[in-house]
Chains A and B, each alone.
Chain A
C-alpha cells in the first residue's frame, strides 16, 4: 500500500503512525497551520479540507485513510489566493477573528464545485457543519451567493 499522499500537489511520504488524524499530521508534522482545530469531533468544520475534491473533516480522518489520495488545504485552494470565494470573502469583508474561515471557505468551495448555483437551502445544508463563534454567517451566505450568482450569469 502506498505510504504517500499528495498535499496541494506535492507528494509527501508519511512517516508517522497511520492512526494520527490528518489534521494533526498537517498542523504539527508538516506545519500547514491554515487548517484549524476547533472540536476534534466533526462538530465545527474548522478543520475542513478537500480529500479528492470532497470537503472532509480532517480531524476525523486518519492519515492512513488519505494515503494515495489528494489533499487540498486552504493554502492550496488557489495558487495566488484568487479563488472566486476567496475574492468574495474579501469583498464582503467576511472574516472577524478569521479562525473558522479556512473551514468555511473549503466547505463552500466543495459545494460550488459540485453545484455552481445552489439554492439558499442547499447553501444552508452544505454549511451547517461549520461553526463561527464571531457570527459571520450572514456575510458568508452573501459571499457564497455572489459567487453562485456570477456563475449563473456566466452560464
Chain B
C-alpha cells in the first residue's frame, strides 16, 4: 500500500513505506494520518498536495513502545505534549510508553509553519482519529486471536482485556497482527467524560532535559569540524555594502574567512551582511569588529520612527481610503447625544527571543543540511534551494528546539547567512547572532496610528463608529508597493465585535521603511488596545462602570452572525470580572482595569490590579479568563497565558524599537528592556470557561488583552489616560 490517501483519515503504513517515511526500520503497527490543508496558512510553504499525503504517524512496536512522529515545531508552547495527549487518549495508551519525535523538514509532515495558534486547531481531530483507528485494530486483532466478538474486548492502558475470562494481551504482542486488520473508516472517538489525558495537566515531555541543560537548541548544534560565525548587517532595509576592508580582521586569531553576504531574490533573504568564520563565536565577533564597512543606506536612509509615528498620528485625523461602510454614520453622528474621538499609537516591537537567531548549516556537494531553531522548515528549504541553486528537497532541515520565537523564526534570513558562511568555507558553520544584530535586524511589529470616533445615544448606547487605521502592513515586506492595510488586514475592525450598525473603516497610507513581520498576536495587539481603551473612555464619558458598559455593548449586538462571539466574549468578561473581584474596595492609588478581546478564534478577558506610586506602576494581580474551547492541557494553557501577561506588560510599559537615519538605535536589553522578575505580578490567575467548544490555540490570543486592561487600571487608579504604547518609552 502506498503511504498516500485520496481521502482524509487514518491509513495503514506497510513496513517499507514506514521505513521510507520515518527512516525507522520496524515491524509492528504504523498508522499514518494526513492533516488537512491550512486555509490562509501563514507559512507560504508550498502546501499543495499535502492533504493527500500521510504527514504524521503513530507507531506501536512489537515491544509495545509507542512513538508519535510529528512535524510541528516545538517552541515552548507544548504542542507536542498536547498532540501526544490527543493520540494517546484515543489509543488508550500508557502515557509512559509514548514518546514523540520531532520531524525534519519534509513534505510528508504537511504544512510545517507553526504560528497563528493553529497547530492545535488543525491537528487535534486527525490525531485523535489516528489513535482511535489504531486502538480499533488492536482490539480487532485480539478478538481474532481469542475467537470472540470485538465487543467482548476492551482496550485500556496499553492492553486489551478479554471480558469473558479477563485475560489480557499487551499492545506490543498485538501490534503485528493489528497491522493485518482493516483500517476503520470512521473510528469512534471518545466523549469528553472518557478522556484520561486530554484536558489533564500533563507535564511537558521535555522538562527533564531542560533542567539539566541537555535540551539542545539551534544555537547548540555541535558537529565535528564545526566553525563559528558572526555577522554585521546592512543597517537599513534596501541599503547595500559598497566596500569593505578585512585586512586587519583576517590577521586576528582563529579567523578562517571574511565573507560578504549579498541579498538573494527570496523573501527571507539576508538584508546583506559581512560575515566572519572563525574557530569560536568569540573570535569571529572580535574580528568582525575590525572589519571596516562602507554602507550605502539606500531609499530608507532617512527613516525616523518617532517622526513617522507623529506623521501618522496627524494623518489619521483626516479622511483616508474607505474600506468598509455600513449604515449611515453621518446621520448617527448628527443625532448623537455624545460624541467622542481619540487617537491611539504604538511603536515597532522586536520579538527578542532569549535565543537570538541561530542555526548551523553544512553545505556539501551532495546537498545541504541545516539545524535550525525555526518555525518554518519548508521555508528554509525553499530559501536555501534558491541560494544554492539546488532542489529544495536536497536541503535537509533538522528542526531544533527554538529558544523562543514569537513569529520571528518564520523568517530564515539567519539560515541563509549561515549557509553563505558554510559554502564559503566548506565547513559546517554555527551562526548565532549577537543580541545587537538580533535587535537591529528584525521583521518588526508595525508601528501604528488609529483614530476612533464614535457616537452615543441618550441611553449610552454606541450608535456609530469610525475606525481609521494606518500602519505599514506585513505584506509590504514581500511587495513594497503595498502601502496601506488591506481589507483583510482590517477584517477585525469590519467584523467589529460590537456589531456596530453605522460603521466606517478606513485604511491610512503608511508605506513601510523597515521589514514588517508577524509578532505574537500581530495586529490584534493594537486593535485590542484601541478598542478596549476607547470603550473605557466611552464608559467614563457616560459616567458608567466599565464592566456594565462592556456588558451592555455586547448585549446590544444584535448581529445574528455574531451570536457566538457575543456569548463567548460575555463569558470571559464575566469570569474575569468575578475572579478579579471587580467592584471591590481598594486603597487610594489602586485601580482595576478590564479588557476583552478575541483573536485567532479564542477569547480572553483580563482584570488587572495596579497600584500607582508617583509614576511607578505596580501590577499586583492579573486575572485572565479564557475561552479556547475544550482545554487540552490546562497547565500548558495556563503557562501560555502567564507568558502573554508578561509579554503584554513588556509592550505596554517599555518595549519599542526606534529608528534614526534608517537604522535601529536600540541594541541590547538595557535599551530594549523586557520585563524583569521584580516587576512581574506576584499573582497571575488563569480561569477557563470550559465551554467544550472545538479547541483553539492560545499562543497569541492572550497578548492583546493585557495592555488595555493595564492602561484602564492606571486610569481607574487616578492616573492619566494613556493612548500611546509603550507608556514608559526608553530614551535611546
Contact = CB atoms under 8 A, between A and B. Distances in A.
Interface string A91-126: 001011111111001000000000000001000110
A73 interface: yes
Given A40-B434, A138-B684, A101 B677 contact: no
B355 interface: yes
A39 B667 CA distance: 10
Contacts of B434: 40
A124 B678 contact: yes
A97 to B, nearest CB: 3
Nearest to A85: B211
Contact of B668 (A43, A86, A135, A141): A43
Interface in A33-67: 33-41, 43-44, 46
Contacts of B401: 97-98
Interface stretch (B100-108, B111-119, B216-224, B562-570): B216-224
Given A39-B669, A95-B204, A101 B642 contact: no
> Which 8 residue pairs of A and B lie closest in terms of their CB atoms, listed nearest first?
A34-B213, A135-B646, A99-B403, A97-B76, A74-B213, A98-B210, A135-B643, A33-B220
B212 interface: yes
B212 A34 contact: yes
Contacts of A100: 354, 403
9 contacts: A27-B281, A28-B280, A33-B216, A36-B354, A36-B355, A38-B355, A86-B211, A93-B207, A133-B353
A124 B212 contact: no
A82 B228 CA distance: 33
Given A34-B214, A81-B208, A138-B680, 8 more contacts: A41-B669, A90-B207, A93-B207, A93-B639, A128-B676, A135-B647, A136-B642, A138-B682
A90 B204 CA distance: 9
A38 B404 contact: no
A29 B280 contact: yes
B670 interface: yes
A57 to B, nearest CB: 13
Nearest to A20: B282
Contacts of A133: 352-354, 404, 406, 647, 674
A93 B680 CA distance: 18
A32 to B, nearest CB: 8
A142 to B, nearest CB: 10
Interface in B212-242: 212-217, 219-220, 222, 228
Interface string B570-590: 000000000000000000000
Nearest to A29: B280
A26 B213 CA distance: 13
A127 interface: yes
Nearest to A102: B213
A37 B219 contact: yes
Contacts of B676: 128, 131
Contact of A36 (B208, B219, B402): B219
A22 B644 CA distance: 34
B213 A44 contact: no
Given A27-B281, A131-B676, A98 B203 contact: no
A17 B207 contact: no
A89 B211 contact: yes
A121 to B, nearest CB: 9
B681 A138 contact: yes
A131 B669 contact: yes
B149 to A, nearest CB: 43
A89 B216 CA distance: 18
B677 A130 contact: yes
A75 interface: yes
B435 interface: yes
A125 B677 CA distance: 9
Interface of A: 16-17, 20-21, 24-25, 27-29, 31-41, 43-44, 46, 73-75, 77-78, 81, 86, 89-90, 93, 95-102, 105, 120, 124-125, 127-128, 130-141
Contact of B639 (A16, A38, A125, A136): A136
Most buried by A among B212, B214, B668: B212
Nearest to A30: B222
A138 B642 contact: yes
A92 to B, nearest CB: 10
Nearest to B644: A135
Label chain B's interface by main secondary structure: loop
B354 A132 contact: yes
Interface string B392-416: 0000000001111110000000000
B384 interface: no
A34 B216 CA distance: 8
Contact of A41 (B405, B635, B670, B678): B670
B678 A24 contact: no
Contacts of A134: 76, 354, 404, 643, 646
Nearest to B433: A37
Contacts, number: 182
Nearest to B622: A138
A26 B403 CA distance: 19
Given A44-B669, A127-B677, A90 B639 contact: no
Contact of A93 (B75, B204, B253): B204
Given A33-B222, A43-B669, A28 B228 contact: yes
Given A39-B669, A43-B669, A96-B77, A90 B208 contact: yes
Most buried by B among A29, A39, A127: A39
A10 to B, nearest CB: 15
Nearest to B74: A97
A34 B434 CA distance: 18
Interface string B646-688: 1100000000000000000000111000111110111110000
A101 B211 contact: yes
A128 B676 CA distance: 6
A96 B354 contact: no
Contacts of B215: 98
B404 A135 contact: no
Nearest to B430: A28
B604 to A, nearest CB: 15
Nearest to B639: A96
Contacts of A97: 75-76, 353-355, 401-405
Contacts of B254: 17
B266 interface: no
A154 B574 CA distance: 43
Contacts of A31: 222
B714 interface: no
A86 B211 CA distance: 6
B76 A98 contact: yes
A16 B254 CA distance: 10
Nearest to B436: A40
Nearest to B217: A99
Interface string B190-208: 0000000000010110111
A68 to B, nearest CB: 21
A24 B684 CA distance: 37
A26 B528 CA distance: 44
B645 A135 contact: yes
B84 interface: no
B432 interface: yes
Contacts of B404: 97, 99, 133-134
Contacts of A17: 253-254, 283
Interface in B121-168: none
A38 B201 CA distance: 30
A129 B668 CA distance: 14
A139 B677 CA distance: 11
A78 to B, nearest CB: 8
A134 B204 CA distance: 15
Contacts of A141: 677, 680, 682
